[in-house]
Structure 1
Amino acid sequence: MSTSTGPSEPLQLPERALLLHIGLMKTGTTSLQNAAAALRPELLARGVRYPGRHTNHRSAVNDFMGQSWGWDTAPVEGAWRKLRAEIDRDTENRVWFGHEFAANADDATVAAWRAELGERAHVVVTLRNYAAILPSMWQEMMKEGHHWTFERWLKNSFADQPEEELRPFLERHDQGRVVTRWAEAFGPENVTVVVVDKSTPSLLFDAFESMLGLEHGLLGTAKLDGKSTNRGMSVEEAELLRALNLRLRKQLTWLEYCKWLRDTASNSMLKRRKPGAHDTKLVLPTWAAEAAHARSARYVEQIRESGVRVVGDLTLLNAEVPSSADPRLRADVVPIDAATEAVLGVIRQGRRDEDRLFTAREEVVELEESATASRKAGPALSEASGRELVRALGARAKRRLRRG
């Protein structure tokens, strides 16, 4: 049987442990990743390596599993090999890495993870109340270019035979099966479940600090905004994104979609705007809340029987959530400030592209001028041409400073 514990009890992992965080999605993963990336030097000074240079390890995790993200894409070849090399070079510190896409792994892939990471690995699964997380799960699909209505998505989620497009998404949120699968491969003693809940907002960071041997409160010192915390969208905000997906999904590649919608219009709205009086909170219909409650009761029992360590109150995963017999699931009008922030996000991206293009053109011109000066100086590179090159580089630096 699993035991429920709190961060105040001994959770610290052995020295040089590999802490693999596999999600699940919408359980505070974005906040953890952004905090770790922002505090990378501070963590390393305290004996914890958060490898790589990016906010998360999505590319490396997908590369190992042979999966891609989005349509018309392929895994980033070599991403895992590069991350693994950095992990192997560190012979002193604990290492913290992972991504919620690791929860997509089937039995064979989890076994491959076990063979790859060896005895040092400890797996962490973060979970939230299944019913409460359903609106967030749907919103994540909207951010990946889908355009299903929330009602259609819910009906498929609880159907005996859901549409094929939805199956992978549902399987990665099968909390009981995910925990059992990783416990069977790594051993229950090497798997920790952290139960995330609004009633204990500090528990998530506290648990990771305890496992990694960090002082209490360190992760909370990272400054996070709406984008960094990946806050939920209101009905109106989600409907704006869904409407854009309907028009643009077939016109854009995945990289174009990420650039112009996911990473600009959507993220700008989440980062720079707070829902107000004209926003509606997404609430489950009563029938869906009841179905989710029955499903999560099975998940809780599976997790108990798996024998893994549990941080937090496991019963919170099956607590009842607010619902309505006839909630508002669609919107015909979008708050003007939401649309404004989305448009401004696209404009800012366009300006960044212009700045990069301008800089690239400047560099080409300066290189041509330097080459011309060298040719005029004769066979030997003269002092004058060297000074000209230094002046050119200095001028470029000043222009960049003026542009901020």
Structure 2
Amino acid sequence: MPADSGAPPAVYLHIGAPKSGTTFLQGLLWSNAAALSEAGVLLPGGSFDAHVRATRDLRGLKPEPGEPGADWDGAWDRLADRIKASTHRVAVVSHEVMCAVDAEGAERAVRSLAPCEVHIVYSARDLAGLLPSEWQEYVKHRFHYGFEHWLREVVDGPRDAGAAEWFWRVHDIPDVLGRWAPHVPPERVHVLTMPGPDAPRERLWERFAGLLGVDPAVADLTAARANASLSWTETELLRRVNCAVDEDVPMWLYHRLVTDVLALKVLPGRGEPGRVPLPADRRAWAEEKAGELVGAVRAAGYDVVGDLSELLPGDPPQEERPAAPGDAELLEAAAHTILGLLERISMLRREIGGLQRERQEQRRTALPKLMARHLSERNQAVWKMRVGYWHLVERLKGIEPVPPGPAVAPADSAGNGGDDAAGKGAGIAPGKAANRSGANGNGVVLSSRRPRR
């Protein structure tokens, strides 16, 4: 529903953080985009991909060689222009790694949205639950070290190297918000706390909707999906797959084949219980560090949506397993995973078969027309017959006929008619063009050597 005042919309930049309910919220937003628009909330760009591209542009990322569709230069400014031209009351831009932008990127984002009232929303989670979840996310993105190794880098190592560099860039709350706070007043910097594991799943949405000033009931929660956690066995299996993936495989291709298919679709389908636990000897550090982060949020005067006590680690869940999976468990998981991949292959083959049959039927019904056109473009007598028939049909319809293409008739035996320029725009055949494009994932070899350990 458009705003009545004519004022520019208030803009809520949901900048992250990863693993704090962002996937759940984004799923709710996009699956209910039409209903939210009626309620005055705009999701600019028309798709989540528009927010991904805008965030990449804001961060100054460069595409990998050969990455298909990797064109996001100017994407942020285009998104900002759509927002400023909107008549909606509120606009939301959400991407969980927007919190990784540097101070210059944060300043650019806010400045580009003037004169809109800009709000910063940062989702946060307790460290005891965050650390194992983030290690899983690293593994989903090709990390091949075990949990203990990862913890040593994040907790004990320098913060500007290894796994720690990214982790603290997006999860050090005072550092992240310190890049944005100089450009908006503290009451417009919102820290959204993630409810505990026993809370109803809709509570996070209720808090976010309240921040936007929209009735939570506007959204249908059944369409939302969370970023499903993997069990320890599933994560370890994926880690070993990463060890076998060749280092020359580009990240964009890894994401399409390993992350999007294996990590996000096949492995979670097993439904195995047992999350990765934070080791007992790390809990004291997590509690102390969480207390520091909570104190910094209080001191800064940011608006808290939820309860800061939810950022403090609670008691460890009783169902967590104490030890890493053994080879027997991994072998069983691998067998089920292969079955899951075979099911997806079977499903895709059925879909491809249906598309091929549809294409054959379209070609069959279109063949007579294509043959007539082909002959008319090469034979003047057929051309004249085709034009005469076309004129007759159009006159019967009461339409003033205009000769169909090509622009001129084909040359006769005496050389009359025709034009060499008519064929200059043809280029190579569509099939050859596709073969030259290089954007083809068929037959890709992910591994050509022994796996790392």
TM class by shorter-chain length? Answer: 0.7 to 0.9
Greater RCO structure (CA 8 Å; 6+ sep): 1
1:291-302 to structure 2, matched below 5 A, reads 291-302=285-296
- Which string of whole-angstrom CA distances, capped at 9 and with x for unpartnered residues, describes residues 317-343 of structure 1? 123342899932344223343443245
> 334-343 or 242-251, which moves further after superposition?
334-343
Task: Tell me the equivalent position of 1:109.
Answer: 105
TM-score scaled by length of structure 2: 0.72
Distance 1:72 1:143, change over 3 A: farther
Q: 1:250 to 1:353 in 2, by over 3 A?
A: farther
Structure 2 match to 1:121: 118
The equivalent residue for 1:374 is: 373
1:248 Cα deviation (Å)? 1.7
Q: 1:114 and 1:299, CA in 2 relative to 1: closer, same or farther beyond 3 A?
A: same
Deviation track 1:49-78 (CA, whole Å, cap 9, x = no partner) reads 112233352121111221258898566334
Q: Does 1:337 align with 2:332?
A: no
> What is the alpha-carbon distance in structure 1 between the residues aligned to residue 177 and residue 249 of structure 2?
36
Distance 2:159 2:345 in 1: 35
TM-score (norm 1): 0.80
CA distance in 2, matches of 1:237, 1:146: 14
How far residue 197 of structure 1 moved from its aligned partner, in angstroms, is 1.6
Equivalent-residue separation in structure 2 for 1:357 and 1:173 (angstroms): 48
1:45 aligns with 38
CA contact (8 A) 2:40 2:89 kept: yes
Q: Which residue, 325, 328, 331 being the options, matches 2:323?
A: 328
Q: Tell me whether 1:30 sits opposite 2:30 in the alignment.
A: no
Contact 2:9–2:87 (8 Å) recurs in 1: yes
Q: Distance in 2 between matches of 1:356 and 1:63?
A: 36
Q: Deviations over 1:197-240 (max 9, x none)?
A: 2244333111222122322333343423xxx3111110111112
Q: How far apart in 1 are the matches of 2:315 and 2:322?
A: 14
1:238 and 1:91, CA in 2 relative to 1: closer, same or farther beyond 3 A? same
The structure-2 alpha-carbon separation of the partners of 1:28 and 1:326, relative to structure 1 and needing over 3 Å to count, comes to: closer
- Aligned partner of 2:129 in structure 1 is 132
1:60 aligns with 2:54: yes
Task: Pick closer, same or farther for the CA change 1:374–1:320 going to 2, 3 Å.
Answer: same
| Residues 78/383 of structure 1: CA separation in 2 closer, same or farther (3 Å cut) | farther
Measure, in 2, the Cα distance between the counterparts of 1:190 and 1:385.
69
5+ long unaligned stretches in structure 2: 1-6, 377-381, 395-453
Is structure 2 residue 81 aligned with structure 1 residue 85?
Answer: yes
The alignment's C-alpha RMSD in Å is 3.3
Aligned to 1:152: 149
What amino acid does structure 2 have at the position aligned with 1:303?
V
Q: Distance in 2 between matches of 1:386 and 1:107?
A: 67
Distance, in Å, in 1 between the alignment partners of 2:167 and 2:388 is 62
3-state secondary structure, aligned to 1:139: helix
Of 66-75 and 159-168, the range deviating more from structure 2: 66-75
User: CA 1:342/1:129 → structure 2, altered by over 3 Å: closer, same or farther?
Assistant: farther
1:208–1:183 Cα change, 3 Å:
same
Aligned to 2:234: 237
Aligned to 1:8: none
AA in 2 matched with 1:182: W
The gaps in structure 1 that reach 5 residues or longer are: 1-13, 388-404
Identity of aligned residues (%): 25
1-structure distance, mates of 2:340, 2:299: 47
Q: Distance in 2 between matches of 1:355 and 1:244?
A: 32
Which letter maps to 1:274? Answer: G
Conserved? CA contact 2:136–2:230, under 8 Å: yes
